[in-house]
Structure 1
């Protein structure tokens, strides 16, 4: 019985920690995308939406409010349905 309780505890701990790490990834993207979209030409909300999608796929956001996309090739190379750059 004690072995089953210990196994249950360990499995619960692993699942909880994996959810915690995933939730922190979103907040990291939010902060970086807020900086990236601070001076966006298009609406701030639209920029944040696209930036967060790109950040979650690529796990990085270039520094600054414009340019520097060579810092993150995945982010740079994502394209939208019209063939243009997906990421702000």
Structure 2
């Protein structure tokens, strides 16, 4: 089970190539906290974390988790 502090380096790596890094990290931290998972790599592989990660949506019905 990941703790909030464990999410920081994982999300930092996940979002390092994102054009809006701070926004990406903020969303990633929320997803990591709720789903206890961050997919490997800088993009894609979202299915590794399961339905919690892939099905979480923003208020605009877009995928929340990077």
TM-score (norm 1): 0.69
Tell me, in whole angstroms, the C-alpha distance in 1 between the residues paired with 2:44 and 2:38: 11
The correspondence of residues 5-84 of structure 1 with structure 2, limited to 5 A, is 25-41=3-19, 43-73=20-50, 74-84=52-62
- The runs of at least 4 consecutive aligned structure 1 residues that moved more than 4 Å come to none
Number of residue pairs matched?
64
Q: Post-superposition shift, 1:66?
A: 0.3
**Once the two structures are superposed, what CA deviation does each residue of 1:53-87 show, in whole Å capped at 9, x if it has no partner?**
00000000000000000101211110001111001
Which structure has more relative contact order (CA 8 Å, sep 6+)? It is 2
Superposition RMSD on alpha carbons, in Å? 1.2
Larger helix proportion of the pair: 1
Flag structure 2 segments of 5+ consecutive residues without an equivalent.
none
Flag structure 1 segments of 5+ consecutive residues without an equivalent.
1-23
Bigger radius of gyration among the two: 1
